[in-house]
Amino acid sequence: MNIQQRRLLFIAAIAVQLLILIAIAIPRMITLNHGRTVTFETEPIDPWDLFRGDYVQMRYPFSKIPTKKDFKPSTPVFVLLQQDTPDKWRAKEILTEKPPTLGGDLLLRARINYSSGSEAHVTYGLEQVFVAEGTGKDLGAKDRLNVDVVVDDDGNAVITELRHKDRKLFQWKWF
């Protein structure tokens, strides 16, 4: 292999790396552009990370779902949410397949943490948000936060805003 061929292959290898990054990002960009924005009420449980600074670790009322089904850890599932008030949602059903129709309900992808046969504990990938240095530590377990999330029909979701009362802790913006 001469140096010209090697250079071309090297550029191709870097292009593959960049394509991998783009491939990770594009589906969520589509979600942001075409999804439905909803607001969830949540509570902070852990505020700080050694390497990444302040972040807000959150728990949702529908993170713990009553169900008699037994799931194995790490199983991917769909959770169907029903709206009670503008920012209060509750889990209606936990499914292993995507339902054909949603009606007025909201579908979220999740992963099983553990299940006991009477309830399942799940994570949605919406459990943490990075905030400005120093603000995460101010929050206590009794503070109620509001999270704006964009959700598409497949259950993919991206957090776009996090608020504590009138204070914006995080806002998703391109520039």
Partner 1 sequence: MTDKLSNKQQKIVRGEIQEWIQERLIDESLGASLLSRYPASENKTNVSEILTMIGSVLVGLGTILFIAANWSAITVGIKLIIIVLAIIISHALGWKFYFEPGKHPRLGASILVLASLFFGAGIWLIAQVFNIDRNFSDGVLLWAIGTIGVTMVTNLVPLGCLSAILLNWWCFSSGYMTYGRTDDGAGIIPTFLVASIASILIAAKLRSRAVMWIALLMGTWVMLFQSFGVSTPLLLWGLALFAGQLWCSHRNQLFTNPFLYVGNVCILGALLISTFGHARTDNFSILQAGILLVATLIALITVAWKVPKFRIEMAICVVVAIAVPLTYGYQEGAHRMAFNIFLLMAIGGLAYSGLNRLQSMAVVNIALIFFVFDVIARYFDLFYTTMNRSLFFVGGGIILMIAGAFAERSRRKLEQTFLANDESTDSPPVVEE
Cβ distance 65 to 119 under 8 Å?
A: yes
DSSP characters over 91-155: EEEEESS--S--TT-EEEEEEEEEE-SSEEEEE-S-SEEE--TTTGGG--TT--EEEEEEE-TTS
Q: How many residues does the chain have?
A: 175
The residue among 12 and 100 lying less far from partner 1, judged by its C-beta, is 12
Residues in the interface with partner 1 (CB under 8 A) total 43
For partner 1, the binding residue among 133, 142, 165, 166 (CB under 8 A) is 133
Site residues for partner 1, 56-95, by CB under 8 A, read 72-75
Residue 101's region, left for phi above 0, alpha for psi from -120 to 50, else beta, is beta
For partner 1, the binding residue among 94, 131, 139, 145 (CB under 8 A) is 131
For partner 1, the binding residue among 80, 81, 120, 126 (CB under 8 A) is 126
Shortest Å distance, C-beta 92 to partner 1: 21
Residue 108 CA to residue 91 CA, distance in Å, equals 10
Quote the tokens at residue 77.
Answer: 């599932």
Shortest Å distance, C-beta 167 to partner 1: 13
Shortest Å distance, C-beta 28 to partner 1: 4
Told to check if 33 binds partner 1 by CB under 8 A, we report no
Question: Quick one: which of 38, 35, 72 has its CA closest to 155?
Answer: 35
In the chain, the amino acid numbered 15 is A
Shortest Å distance, C-beta 156 to partner 1: 9
Which residues contribute to the site for partner 1 (CB under 8 A)? 3, 6-7, 9-10, 12-14, 16-18, 20-21, 24-25, 28-29, 51-54, 72-75, 109, 111, 123-126, 130-133, 157-159, 170, 172-175
